[in-house]
Protein backbone atom coordinates (compact mmCIF):
# COMPACT_ATOMS: atom_id res chain seq x y z
CA UNK A 1 0.00 0.00 0.00
CA UNK A 2 1.18 3.51 -0.73
CA UNK A 3 2.55 5.43 2.26
CA UNK A 4 0.85 8.66 3.43
CA UNK A 5 3.64 10.61 1.71
CA UNK A 6 3.05 8.75 -1.54
CA UNK A 7 -0.70 9.31 -1.31
CA UNK A 8 -0.08 13.01 -0.75
CA UNK A 9 2.14 13.04 -3.80
CA UNK A 10 -0.57 11.32 -5.86
CA UNK A 11 -2.99 14.09 -4.86
CA UNK A 12 -0.46 16.70 -5.99
CA UNK A 13 0.02 14.88 -9.29
CA UNK A 14 -3.76 14.90 -9.78
CA UNK A 15 -3.79 18.68 -9.52
CA UNK A 16 -0.73 18.94 -11.77
CA UNK A 17 -2.50 16.93 -14.48
CA UNK A 18 -5.57 19.15 -14.22
CA UNK A 19 -3.40 22.30 -14.36
CA UNK A 20 -1.52 20.75 -17.28
CA UNK A 21 -4.58 21.06 -19.51
CA UNK A 22 -4.41 24.88 -19.36
CA UNK A 23 -3.35 26.49 -22.65
CA UNK A 24 -0.30 28.17 -21.07
CA UNK A 25 0.91 24.87 -19.63
CA UNK A 26 0.51 23.17 -22.98
CA UNK A 27 2.42 25.97 -24.70
CA UNK A 28 5.23 25.63 -22.16
CA UNK A 29 5.28 21.86 -22.61
CA UNK A 30 5.59 22.23 -26.38
CA UNK A 31 8.56 24.55 -25.89
CA UNK A 32 10.22 22.39 -23.24
CA UNK A 33 9.63 18.80 -24.40
CA UNK A 34 8.09 19.14 -27.85
CA UNK A 35 4.78 17.56 -26.83
CA UNK A 36 1.39 18.60 -25.49
CA UNK A 37 0.01 15.76 -23.42
CA UNK A 38 0.35 17.42 -20.00
CA UNK A 39 3.37 15.28 -19.17
CA UNK A 40 5.21 15.59 -15.87
CA UNK A 41 8.40 13.71 -16.75
CA UNK A 42 11.26 15.33 -18.65
CA UNK A 43 10.90 12.95 -21.58
CA UNK A 44 11.27 14.86 -24.82
CA UNK A 45 9.60 14.02 -28.12
CA UNK A 46 12.96 12.79 -29.40
CA UNK A 47 13.37 10.51 -26.40
CA UNK A 48 9.87 9.16 -26.90
CA UNK A 49 10.80 8.12 -30.43
CA UNK A 50 13.98 6.53 -29.12
CA UNK A 51 12.01 4.63 -26.46
CA UNK A 52 9.68 3.33 -29.12
CA UNK A 53 12.61 2.10 -31.19
CA UNK A 54 14.45 0.53 -28.24
CA UNK A 55 11.28 -1.35 -27.33
CA UNK A 56 10.77 -2.41 -30.97
CA UNK A 57 7.13 -1.34 -30.78
CA UNK A 58 4.97 -2.20 -33.77
CA UNK A 59 1.42 -3.38 -34.48
CA UNK A 60 0.49 -6.34 -32.32
CA UNK A 61 3.03 -5.58 -29.57
CA UNK A 62 1.49 -5.17 -26.10
CA UNK A 63 3.09 -2.31 -24.13
CA UNK A 64 2.58 -1.59 -20.43
CA UNK A 65 3.37 2.01 -19.43
CA UNK A 66 3.60 2.38 -15.66
CA UNK A 67 3.07 5.75 -13.99
CA UNK A 68 1.50 6.88 -17.24
CA UNK A 69 0.14 10.20 -15.96
CA UNK A 70 -1.92 11.92 -18.65
CA UNK A 71 -0.57 9.71 -21.41
CA UNK A 72 2.89 11.02 -22.18
CA UNK A 73 4.86 9.37 -23.73
CA UNK A 74 2.79 6.16 -24.00
CA UNK A 75 0.11 7.55 -26.32
CA UNK A 76 2.75 9.11 -28.53
CA UNK A 77 4.41 5.70 -28.86
CA UNK A 78 1.07 4.01 -29.59
CA UNK A 79 0.35 6.54 -32.29
CA UNK A 80 3.74 6.38 -33.95
CA UNK A 81 4.20 2.60 -33.79
CA UNK A 82 0.72 1.08 -34.08
CA UNK A 83 1.25 -0.96 -30.91
CA UNK A 84 -1.32 -1.60 -28.18
CA UNK A 85 -0.86 -0.24 -24.67
CA UNK A 86 -2.19 -0.35 -21.15
CA UNK A 87 -1.56 2.79 -19.12
CA UNK A 88 -1.38 2.48 -15.33
CA UNK A 89 -1.17 5.17 -12.66
CA UNK A 90 -2.63 6.12 -9.30
CA UNK A 91 -4.28 9.50 -10.02
CA UNK A 92 -7.54 8.99 -11.89
CA UNK A 93 -7.44 12.60 -13.07
CA UNK A 94 -4.39 11.95 -15.24
CA UNK A 95 -5.76 8.75 -16.75
CA UNK A 96 -9.05 10.47 -17.60
CA UNK A 97 -7.11 13.08 -19.56
CA UNK A 98 -5.13 10.30 -21.24
CA UNK A 99 -8.30 8.41 -22.17
CA UNK A 100 -9.82 11.54 -23.68
CA UNK A 101 -6.65 12.13 -25.70
CA UNK A 102 -6.62 8.53 -26.90
CA UNK A 103 -10.23 8.89 -28.06
CA UNK A 104 -9.46 12.19 -29.78
CA UNK A 105 -6.47 10.68 -31.60
CA UNK A 106 -8.39 7.55 -32.64
CA UNK A 107 -6.27 5.32 -30.41
CA UNK A 108 -8.97 4.16 -28.00
CA UNK A 109 -9.38 0.68 -29.55
CA UNK A 110 -5.69 -0.02 -28.87
CA UNK A 111 -5.46 1.50 -25.37
CA UNK A 112 -6.51 0.40 -21.91
CA UNK A 113 -6.31 2.35 -18.66
CA UNK A 114 -6.08 1.13 -15.07
CA UNK A 115 -5.76 2.83 -11.70
CA UNK A 116 -3.26 0.58 -9.96
CA UNK A 117 -0.21 0.65 -7.72
CA UNK A 118 2.90 -0.17 -9.72
CA UNK A 119 3.97 -2.49 -6.91
CA UNK A 120 0.77 -4.57 -7.32
CA UNK A 121 0.04 -4.73 -11.01
CA UNK A 122 -3.30 -6.38 -11.81
CA UNK A 123 -1.98 -8.43 -14.74
CA UNK A 124 -1.03 -12.04 -15.30
CA UNK A 125 2.59 -13.16 -15.46
CA UNK A 126 4.21 -12.53 -18.83
CA UNK A 127 1.22 -10.61 -20.19
CA UNK A 128 3.18 -7.82 -21.89
CA UNK A 129 5.79 -7.71 -24.65
CA UNK A 130 7.26 -4.42 -23.49
CA UNK A 131 7.28 -2.24 -20.38
CA UNK A 132 8.13 1.44 -20.11
CA UNK A 133 8.14 4.08 -17.40
CA UNK A 134 9.26 7.69 -17.43
CA UNK A 135 10.66 9.19 -14.21
CA UNK A 136 8.47 6.83 -12.19
CA UNK A 137 11.02 5.26 -9.87
CA UNK A 138 12.14 8.63 -8.52
CA UNK A 139 8.51 9.26 -7.59
CA UNK A 140 7.96 6.23 -5.34
CA UNK A 141 9.52 4.41 -2.41
CA UNK A 142 8.98 0.78 -3.39
CA UNK A 143 11.47 0.74 -6.25
CA UNK A 144 12.49 -2.88 -5.74
CA UNK A 145 8.90 -4.13 -5.66
CA UNK A 146 7.99 -2.14 -8.76
CA UNK A 147 10.94 -3.48 -10.75
CA UNK A 148 10.03 -7.01 -9.67
CA UNK A 149 6.42 -6.49 -10.73
CA UNK A 150 7.49 -5.13 -14.10
CA UNK A 151 9.65 -8.23 -14.48
CA UNK A 152 6.75 -10.51 -13.56
CA UNK A 153 4.32 -9.11 -16.12
CA UNK A 154 6.85 -9.06 -18.96
CA UNK A 155 7.01 -12.11 -21.19
CA UNK A 156 10.30 -13.93 -21.68
CA UNK A 157 12.19 -12.07 -24.38
CA UNK A 158 10.35 -8.84 -23.66
CA UNK A 159 12.06 -5.56 -22.92
CA UNK A 160 11.76 -2.74 -20.47
CA UNK A 161 13.08 0.76 -21.06
CA UNK A 162 12.76 3.46 -18.46
CA UNK A 163 14.05 6.84 -17.44
CA UNK A 164 14.73 7.90 -13.90
CA UNK A 165 16.20 10.94 -12.20
CA UNK A 166 19.03 9.89 -9.94
CA UNK A 167 21.67 11.34 -7.69
CA UNK A 168 25.18 10.71 -9.00
CA UNK A 169 27.62 8.79 -6.84
CA UNK A 170 30.52 10.39 -4.99
CA UNK A 171 28.97 13.76 -4.23
CA UNK A 172 30.11 15.70 -1.22
CA UNK A 173 27.51 15.63 1.60
CA UNK A 174 26.57 19.25 0.85
CA UNK A 175 26.16 18.64 -2.87
CA UNK A 176 24.25 15.45 -2.21
CA UNK A 177 21.78 17.30 0.01
CA UNK A 178 21.33 20.07 -2.53
CA UNK A 179 20.76 17.53 -5.31
CA UNK A 180 18.15 15.71 -3.24
CA UNK A 181 16.39 18.95 -2.37
CA UNK A 182 16.02 19.78 -6.07
CA UNK A 183 14.91 16.36 -7.23
CA UNK A 184 11.60 14.49 -7.13
CA UNK A 185 10.46 13.61 -3.64
CA UNK A 186 11.55 9.96 -3.61
CA UNK A 187 14.77 10.25 -5.57
CA UNK A 188 16.97 8.73 -2.88
CA UNK A 189 18.05 5.13 -2.82
CA UNK A 190 20.54 3.10 -0.90
CA UNK A 191 21.04 0.67 -3.79
CA UNK A 192 22.39 1.83 -7.14
CA UNK A 193 20.07 1.07 -10.03
CA UNK A 194 22.28 -1.46 -11.79
CA UNK A 195 22.44 -3.52 -8.59
CA UNK A 196 18.75 -3.12 -7.93
CA UNK A 197 17.93 -4.25 -11.45
CA UNK A 198 20.16 -7.29 -11.09
CA UNK A 199 18.52 -8.14 -7.76
CA UNK A 200 15.09 -8.04 -9.35
CA UNK A 201 15.97 -10.33 -12.23
CA UNK A 202 17.04 -7.93 -14.93
CA UNK A 203 20.17 -7.81 -17.01
CA UNK A 204 21.35 -4.38 -18.06
CA UNK A 205 22.08 -3.90 -21.76
CA UNK A 206 22.74 -0.23 -22.04
CA UNK A 207 22.80 3.01 -20.09
CA UNK A 208 22.29 6.34 -21.79
CA UNK A 209 23.01 9.53 -19.91
CA UNK A 210 20.52 12.21 -20.87
CA UNK A 211 21.61 14.78 -18.34
CA UNK A 212 22.27 17.21 -21.20
CA UNK A 213 18.68 16.89 -22.44
CA UNK A 214 17.45 17.41 -18.91
CA UNK A 215 19.53 20.57 -18.47
CA UNK A 216 18.29 21.89 -21.82
CA UNK A 217 14.69 21.22 -20.80
CA UNK A 218 15.20 23.14 -17.57
CA UNK A 219 16.63 26.08 -19.48
CA UNK A 220 13.75 26.06 -21.96
CA UNK A 221 11.27 25.96 -19.10
CA UNK A 222 12.85 29.04 -17.56
CA UNK A 223 12.34 30.84 -20.88
CA UNK A 224 8.79 29.60 -21.40
CA UNK A 225 7.72 30.35 -17.83
CA UNK A 226 8.86 33.94 -18.29
CA UNK A 227 6.79 34.26 -21.47
CA UNK A 228 3.69 32.82 -19.80
CA UNK A 229 4.24 34.28 -16.33
CA UNK A 230 0.90 36.11 -16.13
CA UNK A 231 -1.11 33.03 -17.05
CA UNK A 232 0.91 30.93 -14.62
CA UNK A 233 0.22 33.34 -11.76
CA UNK A 234 -3.51 33.00 -12.50
CA UNK A 235 -3.22 29.22 -12.62
CA UNK A 236 -0.91 28.28 -9.75
CA UNK A 237 -0.36 31.56 -7.88
CA UNK A 238 2.65 33.82 -7.59
CA UNK A 239 4.21 31.91 -4.73
CA UNK A 240 4.15 28.54 -6.50
CA UNK A 241 5.41 30.12 -9.70
CA UNK A 242 8.36 31.67 -7.88
CA UNK A 243 9.17 28.32 -6.28
CA UNK A 244 8.88 26.53 -9.64
CA UNK A 245 11.18 29.02 -11.34
CA UNK A 246 13.75 28.94 -8.53
CA UNK A 247 13.76 25.13 -8.58
CA UNK A 248 14.26 25.07 -12.32
CA UNK A 249 17.11 27.56 -12.14
CA UNK A 250 18.85 25.49 -9.46
CA UNK A 251 18.42 22.29 -11.48
CA UNK A 252 19.77 23.94 -14.57
CA UNK A 253 22.80 25.40 -12.83
CA UNK A 254 23.64 22.25 -10.95
CA UNK A 255 23.26 19.95 -13.90
CA UNK A 256 25.60 22.25 -15.80
CA UNK A 257 28.23 21.85 -13.10
CA UNK A 258 28.06 18.12 -13.62
CA UNK A 259 27.17 17.03 -10.15
CA UNK A 260 23.45 16.95 -10.62
CA UNK A 261 22.36 13.74 -12.27
CA UNK A 262 20.01 13.42 -15.15
CA UNK A 263 17.95 10.37 -15.79
CA UNK A 264 18.72 6.84 -16.87
CA UNK A 265 16.70 4.44 -18.91
CA UNK A 266 17.00 0.72 -18.90
CA UNK A 267 16.25 -1.72 -21.63
CA UNK A 268 15.76 -5.24 -20.42
CA UNK A 269 15.38 -8.55 -22.10
CA UNK A 270 15.11 -11.99 -20.58
CA UNK A 271 18.33 -13.80 -21.37
CA UNK A 272 16.65 -17.17 -21.76
CA UNK A 273 14.10 -16.01 -24.27
CA UNK A 274 14.60 -18.94 -26.65
CA UNK A 275 14.70 -21.74 -24.12
CA UNK A 276 12.53 -22.51 -21.19
CA UNK A 277 14.42 -22.38 -17.87
CA UNK A 278 14.58 -25.65 -15.98
CA UNK A 279 13.00 -26.07 -12.54
CA UNK A 280 14.51 -23.60 -10.11
CA UNK A 281 16.37 -21.75 -12.86
CA UNK A 282 16.21 -18.01 -12.53
CA UNK A 283 15.08 -16.09 -15.54
CA UNK A 284 17.60 -13.36 -16.06
CA UNK A 285 16.57 -10.58 -18.40
CA UNK A 286 19.19 -8.37 -19.91
CA UNK A 287 18.68 -4.72 -19.55
CA UNK A 288 20.05 -1.47 -20.73
CA UNK A 289 20.07 1.80 -18.95
CA UNK A 290 19.54 4.98 -20.89
CA UNK A 291 19.65 7.61 -18.22
CA UNK A 292 21.33 7.72 -14.82
CA UNK A 293 19.32 6.27 -12.01
CA UNK A 294 18.87 5.89 -8.30
CA UNK A 295 16.61 3.74 -6.27
CA UNK A 296 16.11 2.16 -2.90
CA UNK A 297 13.49 0.72 -0.70
CA UNK A 298 14.95 -0.11 2.66
CA UNK A 299 16.19 3.28 3.69
CA UNK A 300 14.64 6.56 2.90
CA UNK A 301 16.23 9.83 3.95
CA UNK A 302 13.87 12.71 4.10
CA UNK A 303 15.00 16.01 2.74
CA UNK A 304 14.15 18.95 4.97
CA UNK A 305 11.91 20.92 2.63
CA UNK A 306 9.35 19.17 0.46
CA UNK A 307 7.87 21.00 -2.46
CA UNK A 308 4.14 21.24 -2.95
CA UNK A 309 4.33 20.51 -6.64
CA UNK A 310 6.53 17.57 -7.34
CA UNK A 311 7.85 18.12 -10.82
CA UNK A 312 8.66 20.72 -13.41
Ligand X SMILES: C[S@@+](CC[C@H](N)C(=O)[O-])C[C@H]1O[C@@H](n2cnc3c(N)ncnc32)[C@H](O)[C@@H]1O
Smallest distance from the beta carbon of 248 to ligand X, in angstroms?
15
Q: Name 203's Cβ contacts closer than 8 Å, sequence gap at least 6.
A: 197, 268, 269, 271, 284, 285, 286, 287
148 lies in the site for ligand X, by CB under 6 A = no
Smallest distance from the beta carbon of 43 to ligand X, in angstroms?
5
262 lies in the site for ligand X, by CB under 6 A = no
20 lies in the site for ligand X, by CB under 6 A = no
Name the one range near ligand X by CB under 6 A: 98-106, 133-141, 198-206, 285-293: 133-141
Q: What is the per-residue binding string for ligand X in 21-40, x denoting contact by CB under 6 A?
A: ------------------xx
CA gap 179, 167 in Å, rounded: 7
Name the one range near ligand X by CB under 6 A: 53-61, 129-137, 194-202, 211-219: 129-137
Q: Which of 77, 131, 136, 147 binds ligand X (CB under 6 A)?
A: 136
CA gap 105, 40 in Å, rounded: 20
Smallest distance from the beta carbon of 92 to ligand X, in angstroms?
10
Q: How many CB atoms lie within 10 A of CB 143?
A: 27
- For 27-51, b/e burial (b = at least 16 CB within 10 A) is ebbebbbbbbbbbbbbbbbebbebb
Smallest distance from the beta carbon of 41 to ligand X, in angstroms?
3
Residues 41-70 that bind ligand X (CB under 6 A): 41, 43, 67-69
One-character DSSP codes across 199-255: HTT--B------HHHHHHHHHHHHHHHHHTHHHHHHHH-HHHHHHHHHHHHHHHHHH
- For 176-203, b/e burial (b = at least 16 CB within 10 A) is bebbbebbbbbbbbebbbbebbeebbbb
CA gap 188, 72 in Å, rounded: 24
Output 140 or 271, the one with its CB closest to ligand X.
140
| CA dihedral (41, 44, 45, 46) positive or negative | negative
Q: Which of 44, 47, 81, 134 binds ligand X (CB under 6 A)?
A: 134
Q: Count interface residues toward ligand X (CB under 6 A).
A: 26
94 lies in the site for ligand X, by CB under 6 A = yes
72 lies in the site for ligand X, by CB under 6 A = yes
Smallest distance from the beta carbon of 36 to ligand X, in angstroms?
12
| Contacts to ligand X by CB under 6 A | 2, 6, 10, 13, 39-41, 43, 67-69, 72-73, 89-91, 94, 117-119, 134-136, 139-140, 311
Amino acid sequence: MASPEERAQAARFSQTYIDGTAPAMRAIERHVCGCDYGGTSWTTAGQSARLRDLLALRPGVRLLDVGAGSGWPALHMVQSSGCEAVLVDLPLAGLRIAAARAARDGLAPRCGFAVADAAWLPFADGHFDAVSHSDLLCCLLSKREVLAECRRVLRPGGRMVFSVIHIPANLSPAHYRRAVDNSPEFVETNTAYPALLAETGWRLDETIDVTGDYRDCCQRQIEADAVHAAALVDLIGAEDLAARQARCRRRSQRSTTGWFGGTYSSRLEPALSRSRPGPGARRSPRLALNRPSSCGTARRVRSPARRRRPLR
